[in-house]
């Protein structure tokens, strides 16, 4: 079997209903909700980036303002954004390595920087170990679904069957350790949304959901977190709240478009 090729610049997945109507993805809908931890991350990364840039040199405020990196359009090129985008590449490659493994092949190095490829190996291997130890039988990997009920699309990372015959869903994350040692609320809501979509599209109930945070830096051991029943119920409530918020946003857009 030939190697899987990854395009880091490929456009985002497009989801359409049976009648051809384009619909948003689960992550787009969840973006309606506030993510306070991101503000702290952006602030911290920007501060650290400026301090690294300054080094030991003495700067005046004006000199620093002019010297800090900018985009081609002359706007500030944020250190946090640069780090986020590079980290996203590592996460995307690790994710693709897992996808290739599920498909019985390997990920091609073509188009992937050597350092990014090398950094992605450890988290991908971590996932393989967890999945193998769990003794799960893979049913679907990177399963694209569209809910006709909600008018929303989504891609489930892994759907499997455990040794007891239950349907399980594993959602893979490649971010840094969670602040409170457990998945963020929107990550739980996202995984639950995929589970509910699977039931609608395939007629089987997902009985267990795990979030596999495989990390992307050396020394990060990752976290394999199984959701409890209460978390799954709260995740469903949060997902439906985000869906209502997204619909109200579209309502406002339609109102103002007609004015």
- The strands making up 167-173's β-sheet, listed across from edge to edge, are 137-147, 152-161, 167-173, 206-213, 223-226
Burial class (CB in 10 A: 0-12, 13-18, 19+), 140: middle
pLDDT value of residue 77: 72
In this structure, of 34-38, 44-48, 175-179, 244-248, the range with the lowest mean pLDDT score is 34-38
Can you give the pLDDT at residue 150? Answer: 97
**What is residue 54's predicted lDDT score, i.e. its pLDDT?**
82
Beta strand ranges found along 134-174 (DSSP E): 137-147, 152-161, 167-173
Distance separating alpha carbons of residues 210 and 192, to the nearest angstrom: 10
What would the pLDDT profile of 2-19 be if each residue is shown by its tens digit? 898 887 677 778 999 999
pLDDT of residue 87: 47
Residue 58: both structure tokens together = 């003495």
Q: What gap in Å lies between CA 69 and CA 169, rounded to an integer? A: 42
Higher pLDDT, residue 246 or 70? 246
Give the tens place of pLDDT for each residue, 143-188.
999 999 999 999 999 999 999 999 999 999 988 888 888 999 999 9
Average pLDDT, the chain: 88
pLDDT in tens, 182-239: 999 999 999 999 999 999 999 999 999 999 999 887 788 999 999 999 999 999 999 9
**CB hemisphere CA count around 96 (13 angstroms):** 23
CATH code assigned to 24-258: 3.90.320
Q: 175 CB contacts (<8 Å, ≥6 apart)? A: 87, 91, 213, 215, 216
The model carries a pTM of 0.83
pLDDT digits (tens, 9 = 90+) for 30-39: 988 866 555 6
Helices (H) then strands (E): counts for the chain? 7, 7
Please say whether the beta carbons of 186 and 36 come within 8 A: no
């Amino acid at each position: 079997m030939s190697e899987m090729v990854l395009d880091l610049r490929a456009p985002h997945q497009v989801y359409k209903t049976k009648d051809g109507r384009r619909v948003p993805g689960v992550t787009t809908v969840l973006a309606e909700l506030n993510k306070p931890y991101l503000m702290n991350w952006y602030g911290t990364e920007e501060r650290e980036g400026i301090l690294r840039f300054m080094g030991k040199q003495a700067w005046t405020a004006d000199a620093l303002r002019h010297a800090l990196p900018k985009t081609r359009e002359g706007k500030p090129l944020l250190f946090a954004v640069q780090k986020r985008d590079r980290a996203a590449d590592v996460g995307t490659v690790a994710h693709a390595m897992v996808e290739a493994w599920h498909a019985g092949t390997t990920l091609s190095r073509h188009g992937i920087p050597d350092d990014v490829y090398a950094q992605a190996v450890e988290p991908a291997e971590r996932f393989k170990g967890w999945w193998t130890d769990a003794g799960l039988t893979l049913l679907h990997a990177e399963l694209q679904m569209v809910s006709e009920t909600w008018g929303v699309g989504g891609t489930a990372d892994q759907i499997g069957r455990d040794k007891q015959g239950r349907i399980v869903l594993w959602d893979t994350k490649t971010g840094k350790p969670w602040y409170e040692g457990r998945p963020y609320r929107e990550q739980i809501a996202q995984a639950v949304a995929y589970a509910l979509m699977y039931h609608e599209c395939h007629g089987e109930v997902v009985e267990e959901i795990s979030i596999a945070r495989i990390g992307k830096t050396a020394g990060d051991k990752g976290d394999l977190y199984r959701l409890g029943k209460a978390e799954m119920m709260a995740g469903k409530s949060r997902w439906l709240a985000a869906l209502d918020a997204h619909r109200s946003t579209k309502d406002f857009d339609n109102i103002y478009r007609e004015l």
